[in-house]
Structure 1
């Protein structure tokens, strides 16, 4: 096999010997936010997606950041390998992104996985020919608008595990609109976010936005589900307790009533749902640990059916 070429490397003071070369695979809501943060710092991320475009745009309050493309749609046109890949496709699209990983990754490459769930590393098993996986917890809401631009609806922040490979992500986003922190207890942070992701599944089945959590009956159902998720999270080593679960419900109640979530948007558009990594994982791991999951046993089959049919 011919040796892969390496994209041109830019130098930048204050970030070590040079600025990392970066690609964003999946310039949707999360990927566009990251691309805009990189662009504002003077980086020029390689944009890779399913649809060719000449730019992507982020809107944050009164700010609009246009990131020039092109958005490449063919891995065969990749400019070479890079130091850092932000993988921002949904887990239902990971297999389809394998060509980009092959084209962009060298042995030194760090792949920062901006996906839901607590199984990011397992999700790339067999798909990553080279490189080092760094999972991330994404702590910000962003949504794609009808005109294709992305609206950021909160402060952008990522949490990474305290591992050496995370350093390139910290350097790439240092001083940008996307804050990055690391945690020595990444398992806890990943499960803290998964509690939120899991609860969002209720919105799919109701077909409603965040305002639904103001209902007392939905509050009780959510609390029951959160206790179930919490039991599984603690069995997996997460240092979470009842106050953390209660905080998730209060977070949903504090959201703007019209705020949706990515899994609800997928349902409304008739796209496959990330039900397994967000909800099925609680049921699967609950069974492994011998923990009853009565809410999951109802919720998961309904989400699976909503995603995959038949009917």
Structure 2
């Protein structure tokens, strides 16, 4: 029997996963803030239309499902909590498609049933003005190696979104967090990936990444000294016009995920007694850009 699947939050990431599920016969029920007839993903020459509708009322959920993909930002989890209540039973697996290393803590606080699977999202998907989503590369998820994660892998088996299970999920999650943290500099500069070609920005980025690396290691991540250089090289290899979700939120005037992407380094650094002078500067500026006043 096919599992019953739901996607909560049909933005760029949610649409990509919904399209992947649809292509392999696991078309999900879709829930979000805005009613829509369907979702559309564009990837190269492919165009995938996922039938809707996108439902906006938790009363329309129809009961618990086997698998929920929660694809809202950390700033939207509280608002999505009614959907989790409506869709989750004791055996529901909730795969969190979200940034950060605190997914389990954040989402579990809003669950009365279900089991949370954190994930690392490794694909560039961008929402387009016409409502479609442009997938600019291959789609891949990394999950911890647990029985719940295998439910997710089975649902996406054979799809355009590959799933890998990692024995050392902590190290990979912190590596992705370092990437997300340095992307916050794009918000402060108001520029896209091309900015990392500047020598001064590259120098600042490496210093910030080394600071984050020290905190990650204190949290149990096994990451080499080369990781900052590898991550910077990745940004320098992106198309100059490549953005990031936190920059898109800033440009649209939406709240920023500054705490789970950048604030966590400052918080955990202080807990371990690690100096974080760059975070001491970057985090208040990102917080102010997000929350004001002014």
Tell me which of 59, 79, 93 is aligned to 1:76.
59
Residue-by-residue CA offset, 1:230-265 (whole Å, 9 max, x unaligned): 000000000002111210000000000000000000
Corresponding residue for 1:300?
Answer: 283
RMSD across aligned positions (CA): 0.6
Aligned to 1:163: 146
Number of the residue aligned with 1:249: 232
Which of 217, 222, 225 is the aligned partner of 2:208?
225
Q: Equivalent residue for 1:268?
A: 251
SS in 2 for 1:259: coil
Per the alignment, residue 4 of structure 2 pairs with 21
Looking at structure 1, the residues matched to 147 and 40 of structure 2 have their Cα atoms a distance apart, in angstroms, of 32
- TM-score if structure 2 supplies the norm length? 0.99
Pair 1:123 & 2:94 matched: no
Q: Does structure 1 residue 153 correspond to structure 2 residue 136?
A: yes
TM-score normalised by length of structure 1:
0.94
C-alpha contact (below 8 Å) 2:108/2:116 kept by paired residues = no
Is residue 133 of structure 1 aligned with residue 110 of structure 2? no
Q: 1:42 aligns with which of 6, 20, 25?
A: 25
Q: Distance in 2 between matches of 1:86 and 1:51?
A: 17
1:236 is matched with: 219
Q: How far is the alpha carbon of 1:110 from its aligned partner? A: 0.2
Aligned to 1:14: none
Q: What secondary structure, in the 3-state scheme, does the structure 2 residue paired with 1:68 have?
A: strand
Distance, in Å, in 2 between the alignment partners of 1:169 and 1:20 is 10
Post-superposition Cα deviations, 1:13-65, rounded to whole Å, max 9, x if no partner, equal xxxxx221100000000000000000001122010000010001000011110
Give unmatched runs, 5+ long, in structure 2.
Answer: none
Task: Tell me the residue number matched to 1:285.
Answer: 268
- Offset, 1:126: 2.4
Q: Choose 117-126 or 298-307, whichever is displaced more.
A: 117-126
Q: Report Cα offsets for 1:199-225 as digits up to 9, x if no partner.
A: 110000000000000000000000000
Query: C-alpha distance in 1, partners of 2:71/2:230?
Result: 27
Separation (CA, whole Å) in 2 of partners of 1:142 and 1:99: 26
For 2:200 and 2:69, the matched residues in 1 are separated by: 39
> Which runs of 5 or more structure 1 residues have no equivalent in the other structure?
1-17
CA distance in 1, matches of 2:253, 2:13: 20
Deviation of residue 124 (structure 1)? 1.4
